[in-house]
Amino acid sequence: MFKKILFATTSSPACDAAAKIAFELAEKYKSELILYHVFGVPSHGGGFSVTDYLTGEEDDAGPDYIEFVKDEMKNTYEKLIEKHGEPRFEVLAGIPSTEILRFARKEGIDCIIMGSHTRADETGAARFRGIVGTTMQTVAQRARCPVLIISRPCATCFWYFNKIIFGTDFSKASMSAFKFAFKMAESIGCKLYLFHALDIDTSQAGVSPGQKSIEDKITAARARLEEEYVSQMNDFDNYEISIWEGIPYVELLKFARETSGDLIVMAHHTRDIDPDQALLGTTVEQVVLRSACPVASVNRPDRL
Amino acid sequence: MEKIFLHKNGVITKQGKKLTASVLKLLGNTIEIDEVFTLNSFFMMVKKYPDLKNISEVLEALLEIISKNCSSGFKTEELESLLFYKTIEIEGFPGTPSLNFYTTLKGVSNTNIIDLKFFHLENLLNHKLKLGKLKHVVFGDKEDVFQYETFYTLFDLVEGIAWELSFNFNPIECSIRR
């Protein structure tokens, strides 16, 4: 399923939940796991000093320092290494999102795994600090492979998971997300939920839609789900179509709760615009922030 | 500012009189809550005064979850009560210096403050809800937090709790705590 998995980590406790899933996923799919850490901003003029992202202190970034950072990472993930085997470590200075994307392209990475935040924020504080970390947002927008965003610890998700929820807004990028969700469901043999939330807040500006209008829209959405997605699933019949009406992220979270979904797969944005120009869609942001299960954000078909 | 009183059964009173007009006029009033006010009382209040549902996108969904699963609601033994409080936080580095203000809902066990996002909503309903002091965190030093007496408005409470509980859509099967 994934030949190469890149786990982009800050090596801080905020990434612990993502680390567990990265190690388990790599073991399950016999993938090469690469732990990738960008530790600081290089000084101007190509010198050997860097400003460490975590401490804010300037350090001499010679070979000894890089070895020191690698040893620190090995200590951080000691228990996971003991259980799942030693991954490959890549450590360098630079702008994290740029370096992660560059490395992923160069190495032909099949899946990037990241935590949603660079720090273990309180839920109350999350509202003004931005929904997701800037690095994650940039990587998720531009990566050519699926980006798995983990915001909470999960004991059951990848090792045993059996319910994948594909949330669609029928955008062009949603087709890439569908292909990934279907490929996962087919290869694992698990249930695939095709979910669409009818956004009644925006469906009729200023006018409350009547029951008949909502029912017509649900019927149309079901037909579209069947035409666009079910038609591509050949003999695969372990699926269910659900269309709920309401605010998309709230409905998706409710649906994931009700079905005990293990993985939510979504496209990044809500409109058919160039993926390079797209901001992380509001629905994805809200879901990533609150979802109890991992969220896979898929924007392009390149590495599916 | 005139205080309003939130009762255990979700009724709001002002100067001893039960509120019958729109609750919107009272959103900016400071609140005092019944000693035995619980999270369930909070949702009873939201049900009684439906205008409050419009304060947050998730309140309707949370009410739906409660009405579907009310029979399974019980008090988790891991918590003694719930605490709602304000925080003012000054940050210096890394990033641009900033002063932030937010409200938080946490669990209390002995003197420990416990994160609620891994608990199921149903299991929190019967816990008493208390209003806490304002915490003042300077430059990220959470070990040495100043605490001050403060006040809360009805809007602070409804909007703040709705935001915090929007992280509690955990599937019933998911029993991870920390």
Over residues A68-83, the pLDDT tens digits come to: 888 888 998 999 999 8
In this prediction, residue A151 carries a pLDDT of 78
Would you say residue A128 has pLDDT above 70?
A: no
Judge whether A171 and A271 are in contact, CB under 8 Å: yes
Task: Check residue A121 and give its pLDDT.
Answer: 56
Which of A250, A259, A263 to substitute to test the interface with B, most B CBs within 10 Å? A250
Domain boundary among A131, A154, A177: A154
Pair A167, A22 in one domain: no
Average pLDDT, chain A: 82
Q: What is the pLDDT of residue A270?
A: 44
Q: Is the model's pLDDT at B132 over the cut of 90?
A: yes
| pLDDT tens per residue across span B46-56 | 999 999 999 99
Together in a domain, A140 and A167: no
On whether both A173 and A28 belong to a single domain, the answer is: no
> Is the CB of B117 inside 8 Å of chain A's CB atoms?
yes
Lowest mean pLDDT among A11-15, A226-230, B33-37: A11-15
pTM of the model: 0.85
Lowest model confidence (mean pLDDT) among A42-51, A241-250, A270-279: A270-279
- Hey, how many other C-beta atoms are within 10 angstroms of the C-beta on B130? 14
Does pLDDT of B177 surpass 50? no
Beta carbons of A246 and B94 less than 8 Å apart: no
Cβ–Cβ gap A124/B160 under 8 Å:
yes
A197 touches chain B (CB under 8 A): no
Q: CB count, 10 Å around CB of A122?
A: 17
A135 and A77 within one domain: yes
Which of A122, A154, A186 represents a domain boundary (last residue)? A154
A130-177 confidence digits (pLDDT tens): 545 567 778 887 888 999 988 777 655 555 567 999 999 898 889 999
Q: Say whether both A166 and A225 belong to one domain.
A: yes
Asked if residue A292 and residue A170 are part of one domain, the reply reads yes
Q: DSSP secondary structure string, B2-54?
A: -EEEE-TTS-EEETTEEP-S-GGGGTTSEEEE-TT-BHHHHHHHHHHSGGGGG
Look up the CATH number of the domain holding residue A191: 3.40.50.620
Token match 């999102």: residue? A97
Domain of residue A174 covers: 161-304
Are residue A301 and residue A256 in the same domain, yes or no?
yes
Tokens of A89: 């470590």
For the segment A168-191, the average pLDDT, to the nearest whole number, is 90
Instruction: Categorize the per-residue pLDDT at A304 as very low, low, confident or very high, splitting at 50, 70 and 90.
Output: low
Do A292 and A169 share a domain, yes or no? yes
Rounded to a whole number of angstroms, the distance from the CA of A290 to the nearest CA of chain B is 5
Mean pLDDT of chain B: 87
Q: From CA A146, how far away is CA A157, in angstroms rounded?
A: 17
Q: Which residues of A touch B105 (CB under 8 A)?
A: 124
The residue among A111, A127, A154 that closes a domain is: A154
Are B7 and B13 contacting, i.e. CB atoms less than 8 angstroms apart? yes
- At residue A279, the pLDDT reads 45
- Range from A209-218, A285-294, B57-66 that averages highest in pLDDT: B57-66
**Which range (A5-19, A147-161, B20-34) has the least confidence?**
A147-161
For the ranges A53-57, A186-190, A220-224, A237-241, which has the lowest average pLDDT? A53-57
Please check whether residues A104 and A225 belong to one and the same domain. no
ipTM of the complex: 0.84
Question: Is residue A148 domain-shared with residue A4, that is, in the same domain?
Answer: yes
Domain ranges within chain B, ordered by starting residue: 3-165
Number of domains in chain A: 2
Residue A294, preceding peptide bond in cis (omega within 30° of 0)? no
Mutation target vs A (from B85, B134, B174; most A CBs, 10 A cutoff): B174
